[in-house]
Structure 1
Amino acid sequence: MSNPKIAIVIGSTRDARFADKPAQWLFSKAQELSSELDFELVDLKDFDLPMFNEMASNLWMPSSDENAIKWQEKMAEFDGYIFVTPEYNSSIPASLKNALDQAGKEWVRKPAAVMGYGAVGAARAVEHLRAVVINLQMVPVRSAVYISGSDFFKVSPLGANAEMSEIEAGILPSVEAMLGDLAWWTKATKAARDA
């Protein structure tokens, strides 16, 4: 039997985004640390999503926009998600919120984990994202990864722009806890959905 599939979703689409660096690092670490799950890096930039303009969520009626349908089909491939997000004005980027709104049935009864980054580790964005995913009928896992303060400025282009390995010791325990939570909830929700 194949492993459950997890999407690591890059939630920022800004040209100057920092997201690629922690997302690539997380993708590599997740593959190294978890033999129970398979991971794929998914970049919102690849989908060119319009602002949500459908009659309703695809929970209630099919979407009409081709890019939205491509996004829905991609998200349907996965059994769980890790969202990599910065914090914009105490919340998640509009690009990530829009992407979450563009799908509906694809999220239901699947777990969601978060890696946040920024001066305060995107703590407020992570909490906001958890509220959003609950509304989408997802299961938010407790453990999250926060790249904050001096760690953020050590690896960010706004600071020293060092390699992620420079802060790995400080955030690896959080990554391990998040992946453990995600593996448990992914297996539990997948078994329940399959039944």
Structure 2
Amino acid sequence: MTMSPRLLVYTAIVLPLTLAGCATAPAEGSIRAALPADAGSAAFAATDLAAAQGAYDAGDSAALTILLDRLRNRGVRPLDPDGEQTVDRWSQAATESGPPLRGRALGPGFLRGRLKPEELRATSQIFLAGKPTEISVAGGKGQPLRLRLLDAKANVVCERDPAYGRSCRFTPIFTQRYSIEIANRGANETSYYLVFD
């Protein structure tokens, strides 16, 4: 069987370009570590946020673009000015020009912070009775964080140690204020992303 000259030229030009494009596209596994099979939307958002920080720090604009698109498609939004500034920096460094992650009415929201080694940070959030809730936290690559959720009587509702890729999911029986504790159990300072959904 012989190939026509036109098909030969097409194969010689297009196939190498296609393969080159495949070689340069970031693989899913290189962007974010594998998550447990039962990971929820907050865990995916938290790990994507931590991976976006890693891509930004490494100057990997292609991976950062993919992660920003995924976060945007999930409706993830910052809940404080620090988060908005972080997303603005990422958007400027990415190879895309989509709308920023802000001003959305629905979808998970996140808070960003930093923890020194062995530091514990506590925040509080009111969760409504009967409304299913999920929270998750992720930090820098390989940084062991602990997530603990306590009710108004300081009873532990949920604990994840290590927290990466894992969520606390529950439906409150009563509307009340819950405490959320994040602890850095590692030897290095790390940033973290706490996601509420």
User: Structure 1-normalised TM-score?
Assistant: 0.29
Higher relative contact order (CA 8 A, sep 6+): 2
**Larger Cα Rg: Structure 1 or Structure 2?**
2
Greater percentage in strand: 2
- TM-score under structure 2 normalisation? 0.29
